[in-house]
Amino acid sequence: MNHPPRYLAPVTVAELAARLGITPAHLCRTCAERVAAGMPSPVSTVGHRRWDRRRIDAWLAGNGAPTAANDAAPLIPSTDDDWRQRLAAAYGAAR
């Protein structure tokens, strides 16, 4: 039995910015550059931008976990050792 596709609310600027680890203002300023680099285009450019949720989810899954400013390091270290390394790099080795 075929069911019609379930409606998914579009992704807002605030939500996408949070998922990318940037501010909404920064996303708005760099949107054209990001689209040129492969990010899906907004489905609505009149008023507040909105993106198709399925396309954004697929794009984020294809690009790996989003990181702030496209850094190679994850936003939140996942282990205690990762935290220690990050803190040591920022503040020097523990005494």
Candidate from 5-9, 17-21, 25-29, 58-62 with smallest mean pLDDT: 5-9
> Does residue 51 contact residue 11 with C-beta atoms inside 8 Å?
yes
Ranges 11-25, 31-45, 50-64, 71-85: which has the least confidence = 71-85
Which of these, 21, 14, 8, 60, lies nearest to 38 by C-alpha position?
Answer: 60
Residue 13 carries which side chain, given as an amino acid letter? Answer: V
32-70: per-residue pLDDT in tens? Answer: 899 888 899 999 877 889 999 989 988 888 864 444 455
**Nearest alpha carbon to residue 70 among 18, 28, 20:** 20
